[in-house]
């Protein structure tokens, strides 16, 4: 598979007072990849993720998304262009079913207009039927059929994470930023979660950019893995090479493994 960059970070820097959190950092997330981002505490990973997601604005440099300069755009603007960060999508509506939660995701539905509801009931019904069918297809893909009519608030932590993945599928994201996706998920459901991320990537062509504490999960899912230290990218490659790199062992793996 030939790749091109869906995210291209070019010489980006960000300072907070006297602390330079990201220092002239450049990296690429190739279309169709599952790219991991790791590094020791204080490496600048979370700041870089926030810069890419539009939560903060860089002091210098550019962020290119899908060939367009999106530096300084807000998260909701990036959402409508197809960049989703999992926690940026509203948390589940606890008193609605899993199916209803998925049906709430697409924006601009004709039923949102009171006038259309009065004047175009046929259009409204057709649109709702389409959204419902798509939600059912997503539920089938994620193997959540047994809980589709369960209130979302009653789902386990792992099932909620799967539902969150499902919400990204309702809007056909070009790239999904996964931030600590394994947090609060038991080992059994984590395997299901990882398998679904792999299926979304391999069968549906989703691109993922991942920060994660769990190095086993990073090793399973991600190629390439990008390593940051002191606000800079210091290495990139498959996990087998990353683990064997003396510079990384000194900067990262010489201490207890964390990827905050």
Q: Is pLDDT above 90 for 171?
A: no
Domains assigned to the chain: 5-88+176-253 (3.40.50.300), 93-154 (no CATH)
- Packing angle, helices 121-141 and 157-169, rounded to 10: 130
Does this model's pTM top 0.75? My answer is yes
Banded pLDDT at 93 (limits 50, 70, 90): confident
Q: Which two tokens stand for residue 127?
A: 């649109």
What is the predicted pLDDT for the residue at 111?
A: 44
Angle at CA 234, nearest 5°, toward 15 and 256? 90
User: What CA–CA distance (Å, rounded) separates 233 from 24?
Assistant: 9
pLDDT surpassing 80 at residue 253: no
pLDDT single digits (tens) 187-236: 888 899 999 999 999 999 999 999 988 889 999 999 999 999 999 999 99
pLDDT value, residue 118: 46
Q: What's the mean per-residue pLDDT of the chain?
A: 86
């Amino acid at each position: 598979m030939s790749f091109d960059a869906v995210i291209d970070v070019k010489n980006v820097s960000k300072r907070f007072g006297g602390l330079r959190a990201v220092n002239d950092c450049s990296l690429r997330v190739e279309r169709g990849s599952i790219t991991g981002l790791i590094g020791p505490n204080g490496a600048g990973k979370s700041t870089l993720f926030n810069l890419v997601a539009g939560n903060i604005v860089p002091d210098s440099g550019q962020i290119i998304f899908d060939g367009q300069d999106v530096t300084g755009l807000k998260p909701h603007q990036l959402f409508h262009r197809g960049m989703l960060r999992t926690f940026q999508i509203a948390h589940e509506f606890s008193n609605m079913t899993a199916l209803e939660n998925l049906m709430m995701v697409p924006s601009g539905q004709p039923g949102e207009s009171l006038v259309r509801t009065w004047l175009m009931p046929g259009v409204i019904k057709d649109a709702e039927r389409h959204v419902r069918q798509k939600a059912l297809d997503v539920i089938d893909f994620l193997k959540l059929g047994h809980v589709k009519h369960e209130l979302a608030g009653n789902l386990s932590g792992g099932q909620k994470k799967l539902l969150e993945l499902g919400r990204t599928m309702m809007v056909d994201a070009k790239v999904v930023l996964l931030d600590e996706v394994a947090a609060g998920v038991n080992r059994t459901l984590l395997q299901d979660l990882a398998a679904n991320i792999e299926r979304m990537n391999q069968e549906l062509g989703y691109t993922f950019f991942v920060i994660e504490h769990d190095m086993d999960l990073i090793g399973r899912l991600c190629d390439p893995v990008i390593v940051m230290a002191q606000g800079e990218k210091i290495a990139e490659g498959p996990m087998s090479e990353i683990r064997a790199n003396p510079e990384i062992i000194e900067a990262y793996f010489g201490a207890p493994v964390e990827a905050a």
